[in-house]
Amino acid sequence: MPDIIYTKVDEAPELASASLLPIIRKFAAAAGVSVGTKDISLAGRILATFPEHLTEDQRQSDDLAELGRLVKTAEANVIKLPNISASVPQLVGAIKELQSQGYALPDYPDSPKSDDEKAARAKYDAIKGSAVNPVLREGNSDRRAAKAVKSFAQSNPHQMGDWTADSKTHASSMSGNDFFTNETSATLGTATGAKIVLETASGETLLKDGLEYPAGTVVDATFMSVAALKDFFAAEIAKTKDQGILFSLHLKATMMKVSDPILFGHAVKAFLAPVFEKHGDAMAALGVNPNSGLGDLLVRVKDNAAIMADIDACMAARPPMYMVDSDKGITNLHVSSDVIIDASMPALIRAGGKGWGPSGEEADTNCVIPDNSYAPIYDETIKFFKENGKLNPATAGTVQNIGLMAQKAEEYGSHPTTFEIAEAGTVKMILDDGTVLHQHTVEAGDIWRSSSARQAPIEDWVNLAISRQKAEGCEAIFWLDENRAHDTELIAYVKPILEAQGVADKFKIMAPREATRASLETITKGENSIAVSGNVLRDYLTDLFPILELATSAKMLSVVKLMNGGGLFETGAGGSAPKHVQQLVEENHLRWDSLGEFCALGESLVFLADAKGNEKARILGQGVETATQGILDHDRSPSRKVGEPDNRDSHYWFARYWAEAVAGQDQDAELAAHFAPIAEALAAGEAQVLSELAAVQGPAAELGGYYRSDVAKTEAVMRPSETLNAIIG
């Protein structure tokens, strides 16, 4: 059996695989890792279901059933791409296409009469819809602690720090003019394009165009006032000093890649405000960027005695800082990615509200979380434990999570539409018909962003929650705040679906603060709860509760059947994939974004390293993470427009960044030597590769089929660069 199984699916993800999978296989082979495939496409499932109608050469194994067995073993390492959950029209279309390709399949009988027709209908009905879901979860996030892991944690409870009612630890957030209070949201009635502009006294600046939203999309816009942020930081620093506790800042700069590094930079400037006021010009000349953190700043100014002396004096006058490594003097403000809120806050709470100070001793802490969107979950958790004492892992219940994350839903999909405002004015989001969907009056330095959630993922999320609640039979809460603009739009989707399915009495809808307390009360009693949440809360909650319950979030898995030791790594939803295929066929441009595949691959390789002791695989996995970061940082994701970079271009950049990362590491000299010439060849061939990829766009592309395309034709379309193919093989 191959080390990793990469699923063969449908539509755009499968087309992308024709380009990406050869790269994965070549790179993985350097670590002795084999990558196989299993066909869970709609066409593949149909063929596997009717072997008696096919010739020996046409028959296909039931790969879905095989995967169903595999995921129950410790050997499972599956990268699961999104497949079609077939409607009747899709099923009928796939049958007709397969029949035209020489497969003697029975027709789909609308009104079966004979025994043969009834038997065929029963088999087809088992294929259509979400037939794959009971075996392999797809789409939105379904995370929970496995029963075995939970049982082990209860039998071997980890240590928890003691909470006292007089603890000074608390969470602080802005009281207004933040992302939460400035948010506006709307659900689009029709499909539309949009642009974002900044109107100022000096004219109009186009911030972003080419945005496209299908009907039913919830589109948000908001901003944070930099003036309010500066006032907030100054006040919290002073308050923390007066209280004699540690100052700590908790952000998610690794995911909120545009906004949170800016927030982090303002915190650095606020903490060293006297130094920046006195030496700002000299520090700028030395290349100081506060967004890069205190660590980078200190390296740049270390030879300037005057600046260093003033920094020392300033730090002495400030409150002591929460430390990442007190032995090495690495503070909370050294590097923006060192303190990640979803990991740092649960760890501090588990420790009884104590953070590590400069002296290497624990102390109460002011947990500064500027935006008020999600700060309440941590504030309420702290208050709960102050009132009730620490959680007992030996008796605590568990909180599962159903998270809305498909198709870059909500804030984690906002990177391309987040801007630091250069000049005071009005930011407007304008639809194709001229309608101003959102507008905000902003000042220079404010941070404006827009995010969205599409209708299909929202509805899938609600239905997944209904299914999970039915299976578990426990408390289930939608973590939605009716006083938040975005959540109001989601509630408008949630309530009708719950009522239509007759399960409204099985669910509660609560704001995050109230849901936090209710969930903590539930698990304290030894009972279970399901948190049905948006994208960011999915991330936060699937660290917060597991760290409290299990001491770690590393064992939270997407599908319960994998608790026997295997790993399933999902790559997201593909609801817009048919349009992608249509565009590829018409214009030879594939706008499918393989970011989900990149992320899943990295996790899969690291998992393989842990399972089989393959340290080379671990290095490859770390390289994938670096490469994915490179794709985002350098905006190498596919464009929607023909003539611009598409999915194939992004794969070239991914391969290049991956090769460069592995060639540049110093943990394994053999791997570094192997990838050095590959990295060099990819870099040297950049112009030629990109030229060859661009040259094929525009004319129609021939795939030889929609549901079951011709392998050779698909490879010719998806691997058109001879230069890249020569390097990859």
Instruction: Identify the pLDDT of residue 134.
Output: 42
What are the C-alpha distances in Å from 179 to residues 183, 259, 371, 484, 551?
6, 11, 6, 10, 31
Angle (CA) 81 82 85, round 5°: 145
How far is residue 651's CA from residue 581's CA, in Å, rounded to a whole number?
Answer: 17
Query: What would you report as the CA-atom Rg of the chain, rounded to the nearest whole angstrom?
Result: 27
How far is residue 42's CA from residue 131's CA, in Å, rounded to a whole number?
Answer: 10
Sheet holding 184-187, edge to edge: 184-187, 218-224, 447-453, 418-420
Q: 3-class SS at 580?
A: helix
445, 425 in Cβ contact below 8 A? Answer: no
Residue 122 has pLDDT above 70, yes or no: yes
SS3 per residue for 197-227: EEEECCEEEEEEEEEEECCCCEEEEEEECHH
Q: What is the CB-side half-sphere exposure of residue 220 using CA atoms within 13 A?
A: 27
Q: 3-class SS at 635?
A: coil
526 contacts: CB under 8 Å, gap ≥ 6? 395, 396, 397
404, 534 in Cβ contact below 8 A? Answer: yes
Instruction: Identify the pLDDT of residue 137.
Output: 42
Element (DSSP H or E) covering residue 347: helix 341-350
What are the C-alpha distances in Å from 370 to residues 413, 465, 493, 603?
20, 31, 29, 31
According to DSSP, the β-strands at 170-172 and 418-420 are: unpaired
Q: Phi/psi of residue 297, each to 5°?
A: -60, -45
Nearest residue to 678 via CA among 29, 33, 34:
29
Residue 228 has pLDDT above 50, yes or no: yes
* Beta strand ranges found along 375-461 (DSSP E): 399-403, 418-420, 425-431, 436-442, 447-453
Residue 152 has pLDDT above 80, yes or no: no
563: pLDDT confidence band, cut at 50, 70 and 90? very low
pLDDT digits (tens, 9 = 90+) for 665-708: 999 999 999 999 999 999 999 999 999 999 999 999 999 999 99
Residue 206 CB neighbours (<10 A): 9
How far is residue 247's CA from residue 266's CA, in Å, rounded to a whole number?
Answer: 15
Element (DSSP H or E) covering residue 694: helix 686-695
Q: 3-class SS at 258?
A: coil
Instruction: Identify the pLDDT of residue 347.
Output: 92
The predicted model gives 274-300 an average pLDDT of 94
How far is residue 99's CA from residue 307's CA, in Å, rounded to a whole number?
Answer: 77
231 contacts: CB under 8 Å, gap ≥ 6? none
Q: What percent of the chain has pLDDT over 90?
A: 72
Residue 271 has pLDDT above 70, yes or no: yes
Instruction: Identify the pLDDT of residue 596.
Output: 77
Sign, CA dihedral 291-296-297-298, equals positive
Instruction: Identify the pLDDT of residue 332.
Output: 92
How far is residue 167's CA from residue 233's CA, in Å, rounded to a whole number?
Answer: 22
pLDDT digits (tens, 9 = 90+) for 293-321: 999 999 999 999 999 999 999 999 999 99
Give 459: exposed, middle or buried? Use CB within 10 Å, 0-12, 13-18, 19+.
middle
pLDDT digits (tens, 9 = 90+) for 45-97: 999 999 999 999 999 999 988 888 887 788 889 998 877 767 667 888 899 99
* Average pLDDT of the chain to the nearest whole number: 91
SS3 per residue for 520-573: HHHHHCCCCEEEEECHHHHHHHHHHHHHHHHCCCCCEECCHHHHHCCEEEECCC
138: pLDDT confidence band, cut at 50, 70 and 90? very low
According to DSSP, the β-strands at 362-368 and 246-249 are: parallel
